[in-house]
Amino acid sequence: MTQNKIAAIILGAGKGTRMKSDLPKVMMPVCGKPMIRHILDTLEKSGVSQIVTVIAPDGDLVKKEVSPYQTCIQKQQLGTGDAVKSAKELLKNFDGDVLVIFGDQPLYTTDTIQKLVNKRREGYSIVCLGFTPDDAARYGRLIMENGELKRIVEYKDANEQERAVRFCNSGMMCFDGRKMFDILDKITNENAAHEYYLTDAIAIALKEGLKCSAVECPVNEAAAANTREELAYLEQLLCQRNGK
């Protein structure tokens, strides 16, 4: 039985193109260590028993960095839902909690991970991690009712009332491992980009009569790096946290 155990899937197949680097994005250094190493350290401290990193076909550098943890290959970049499904063979029999974490978000803490897992164990199939920034800008919104997550609305699809919601989606999620891949298998790519979006898992779970929720983390923890400027900001935040 693995019900009290935690596994994690790190999405690490992104390229460093917008960073103007040949390094895979998750290998970009923050405070002297690759971004993904900070995530691994936090997951280990959180008692995560199994870690799978999704890598690109040419992701040997990432594979070496995360060793001895397992990796799986996302053959084509077909969206976040497709990336997570790449881990199916390695985690299909895992019936504990499964975290999905983006490899360019190295600032999450053990407290936040525990909060997410604890909420999931209250009987939810999926729990999302949200944050409330001063400027919600173009983030996807988490629409809550009576403590339950009813939908995730992308900014471009949101009406005026939904755009007024400031509780935003960080991207990190926690799934019930027993139901996770059944839900993911039902995600389609019937959208403008023809990609499989992980966020569609919420609508599918709710349609199946399952419950979803969300918990909140401090704004800085949800910071991600897509550009050199954002990378420098991550470094500043992490060095402040470490008292450097």
CATH number for the domain that contains residue 64: 3.90.550.10
Residue 2 pLDDT > 60, yes or no? no
Per-residue pLDDT, 17? 66
Instruction: Look up residue 121 and give its amino acid.
Output: R
* Residue 147 lies inside a defined structural domain of this protein: yes
Report the distance separating Cα 150 and Cα 20, nearest Å.
Answer: 38
Active-site residue among 18, 138, 163, 241? 18
* Residue 170 lies inside a defined structural domain of this protein: yes
pTM of the model: 0.96
* Residue 1 lies inside a defined structural domain of this protein: no
CB 7 within 8 A of CB 94: yes
Checking phi first, is residue 79 left (phi over 0); if not, alpha (psi -120 to 50) or beta? left
Instruction: State yes or no: is 18 an active-site residue.
Output: yes
Q: In total, how many domains does the chain have? A: 1
Which structural domain range is residue 66 located in? 6-241
CB 148 within 8 A of CB 213: yes
pLDDT in tens, 38-63: 999 999 999 999 999 999 999 999 99
Rg of the chain over Cα atoms, rounded to whole angstroms, equals 17
pLDDT band at 16 (very low <50, low <70, confident <90, very high): low
Report the distance separating Cα 80 and Cα 23, nearest Å.
Answer: 20
pLDDT in tens, 81-140: 999 999 999 999 999 999 999 999 999 999 999 999 999 999 999 999 999 999 998 899
Phi, psi of 154 (to 5 degrees): -65, 145
- Give residue for tokens 């009332």: 161
Q: Which H or E run contains 174?
A: strand 168-176
Residue 186 pLDDT > 60, yes or no? yes
* Residue 74 lies inside a defined structural domain of this protein: yes
Q: How far apart are the first and last CA of the chain?
A: 42
* Residue 88 lies inside a defined structural domain of this protein: yes
* Residue 207 lies inside a defined structural domain of this protein: yes
CB 173 within 8 A of CB 130: no
Q: What's the rounded mean pLDDT across residues 155-173?
A: 94
* Residue 215 lies inside a defined structural domain of this protein: yes
